[in-house]
Chains A and B, each alone.
Chain A
Amino acid sequence: MSDRAVEAPAERLPLRVRLALYDLDGVTLLVLPAVLFVIALFVYPFAYGFVLSFEPKKGAWFANYAKFFSDPFLYDTIEATFRLAIPATLINVLVSIPVALRVRRMRNRRVLTTILVIPITLGTVLIAEGLLNYLGPQGWFNRTLMLFGLGQIRLVHNYTGVMLSLILSGFPFTFLLTLSYLTGIDPSLEQAAATLGAKARARFWTILMPLLAQGLAINLCLSFVQTFSVFPSAVLLGAPAGATRVISIAAYQAAYEQYDSSMASAIAMIMGFCQLFVVVLILAARRFVYRGAAGGGKG
């Protein structure tokens, strides 16, 4: 008996201990539902769509892609989408910086945050409806203009309408993200810069911006992906047959008006590739900025 007791540690460790060495324990199992979810609702549909896009109704395996890139009615949607997504993303992210800079020092930040979160919770459709009523030809905005003899401005059913809606629904999101990145920067860094003679402008460019850059990159990616897949506001507030015929509309029409799910999958793949291209570009640009912690080291 005593011999066995001495030998025991030399034997293989119990499974639980060996797993624990790799940081695997019972809690790890909690990840399982999420993994299944991702496989069922992302990996499988993506793979399925990818394969489907190469099984056109007629023609060679790449016929869908050939058709897309030979028909201006289809390939122009890429440009239309970029023309909306890039300015909307830039406006949202760039405007969020000065606002967040000021709000960071406010005492009752929660009131403002709540007000800004409301557009997110309302959803795009409600915002679109609201804008239609308020900015439309008979909305009170134009009526007020007419009252002062200033004529009418066309703000809906065109590019401007969609852009306004993208800013309205996207800004709170980018703002909250920028605010959280900004509050993560140790305020004593700015104080130190001030005691060393840096004025507000210099502090912004030499301290805040470099430390904020990686957060802004993430913010740009998320905001871009969100605006690139614009659909409801492009249909409701835009000109879905003209200037705001975005790529998601083309995919929708292929799937539900022409019942060509193979073509729709191909368009979805092209759309995904465009998004991936921009995201990779932004993330690659991050190599030029500081990516460590925004605090003062070990401090």
Chain B
Amino acid sequence: MVIAARDFRELRLDGMSRNFGAVNALTGVTLSVRRGEFIALLGPSGCGKSTALNCLAGLLTVSSGSIWLDKTRIDRLAPEERGFGMVFQNYALFPHMSVRKNIGFGLSMQGLAKAEIARKVNEALAIVRLGDQGYKLPGQLSGGQQQRVAIARAIVIEPPLVLMDEPLSNLDAKLRLEMRAEIRRIHELIGSATIYVTHDQEEALSLADRIVVMRAGEVRQVGTPEDLYSRPAHPDVAEFMGYRNQIGSRAEKSGNLLNVIVGGVSLAGTPVDGAGEGSVVAAIRPDDLKVAAGGPISVRVESSQYHGQDFYCSGRTDDGAELYFRSEKKVTKGDSVRLAADASRVLVYSRAAS
């Protein structure tokens, strides 16, 4: 293997912040990334994840805090001095250069010999499986192929760190799945660290070793996909991880569990981060609200969408709260159904945390 990421041990962000005038786009991001790790920055639009990526690439200046690559401080370096590979959302392929010229651009900037460049470009084209497209212009390629060129161009300079800014958002659903697998394969092949910005939780869960959930310019939670999925530390994170039902309630202790009121009935839930009695938010994933004949919560179905295996439904409880749930059997608007949820799947957060 010719193309392999430059060696390093740790990339460290230390209180990285960026403000635009009075607006804090990014506040105090502290994170440490090891070689070979795949990190996803996940959050809704405007949460600061792209700002964070641009700060790492050097395209934006950091207002305060620092970035370290092992023992070198890099946050004052220009982008061309950092040597990170970046894949842009719109690919940013040079429209006037052939695919080969695009991929070889970084190498020729390093002043490598022609033969060496040609050899590495061949290698990169093989890695992204575009062997026979080298002499075309970017405009002659499909979206997925352009994406592959953008990746090849970023990895051929053997960067220690590859930065990707929502690279799949312009592709259709089928291609997105295909490229997701490709990105992970290439990441493992070259052994770099990858930082991947996305707003798609499914993408983050399936690709990343660790996920950094961001909201309003702050890091809300860092953890493995399993951690985040089963135990989000914050109602915001929970919402992003698919806990679509978030019900405000008052809680009462009952042993290790907390009892909350959902739809006029009491439901046992698991406290998160020491949530106690008082004002709380209960978060339940639609998949965990099961239709059961003897279930405690009664709802009237308001909508039902067929999703192949089952139905995604929404219903309203007697006290007017809207609940989302999943049903294996067909239900139609106006039906009355009863819902149940396992205590371990009802997460209770104290109100103060939100």
Contact = CB atoms under 8 A, between A and B. Distances in A.
Given A196-B106, A298-B170, 14 more contacts: A191-B86, A192-B93, A193-B94, A194-B58, A194-B80, A195-B82, A195-B85, A196-B153, A202-B109, A290-B95, A295-B90, A296-B92, A296-B138, A298-B143
A6 B142 CA distance: 43
A186 B137 CA distance: 17
Contact of B146 (A199, A293, A298): A298
B134 interface: no
A72 interface: no
A197 B106 contact: yes
Interface string B54-85: 00011100000000000000000011101111
Nearest to A289: B96
Contacts of A299: 90-91, 146, 170
Nearest to B54: A191
B161 to A, nearest CB: 11
B110 A197 contact: yes
A207 B106 CA distance: 13
Given A191-B79, A197-B80, A198-B80, A295 B95 contact: yes
A189 B105 CA distance: 12
Contact of A297 (B58, B91, B105, B153): B91
A193 B108 CA distance: 11
A193 B105 contact: yes
A267 interface: no
A103 interface: no
Interface in B75-126: 78-80, 82-86, 88, 90-96, 105-106, 109-110
B46 interface: no
Contacts of A186: 90, 92
Interface string B153-168: 1100100000100000
Residue with the greatest number of chain A CB neighbours at <10 A, chosen from B84, B95, B142, B143:
B95
Contacts of B86: 191-192, 195
B92 A191 contact: yes
A210 B101 CA distance: 14
A296 B92 CA distance: 5
Interface in A164-199: 186, 188-189, 191-199
Contacts of A295: 90, 95
A211 B143 contact: no
Contacts of B84: 195
A191 B163 CA distance: 13
A197 B157 contact: yes
Interface of A: 186, 188-189, 191-199, 202, 206-207, 210-211, 290, 292-299
Interface residues of B, number: 35
B85 A188 contact: no
A84 to B, nearest CB: 34
Interface in B133-149: 137-139, 141-143, 146
Contact of A192 (B88, B142, B143): B88
A290 B98 CA distance: 11
A189 B109 contact: no
Given A196-B153, A298-B143, A292 B95 contact: yes
B193 to A, nearest CB: 15
Nearest to B91: A296
Interface of B: 57-59, 78-80, 82-86, 88, 90-96, 105-106, 109-110, 137-139, 141-143, 146, 153-154, 157, 163, 170
Contacts of A293: 95, 139
A186 B96 CA distance: 13
Contacts of A207: 94
B95 A195 contact: no
Nearest to B110: A197
Contacts of B170: 298-299
B139 A189 contact: no
Given A191-B59, A292-B139, A299-B170, A197 B95 contact: no
Contacts of B105: 193, 196, 198, 206
Contact of B139 (A192, A210, A297): A297
Contacts of B142: 298
B101 to A, nearest CB: 9
B95 A196 contact: no
A294 B95 contact: yes
Nearest to B150: A192
A127 B103 CA distance: 51
Nearest to B87: A192
Contacts of B88: 188, 191-192, 296
Residue with the greatest number of chain A CB neighbours at <10 A, chosen from B79, B88, B96, B143:
B96
Residue with the greatest number of chain A CB neighbours at <10 A, chosen from B58, B86, B154, B163:
B86
B146 A196 contact: no
A59 to B, nearest CB: 54
A298 B92 CA distance: 10
Contact of A196 (B58, B59, B109, B139): B109
Contacts of A192: 86, 88, 92-94, 153
A195 B160 CA distance: 13
Contacts of A202: 109
A297 B79 CA distance: 24
Closest 3 CB pairs of A and B: A290-B96, A196-B106, A299-B90
Given A196-B106, A197-B106, A197-B110, A297 B80 contact: no
Nearest to B57: A195
Given A198-B109, A202-B109, A297 B157 contact: no
A297 B57 contact: no
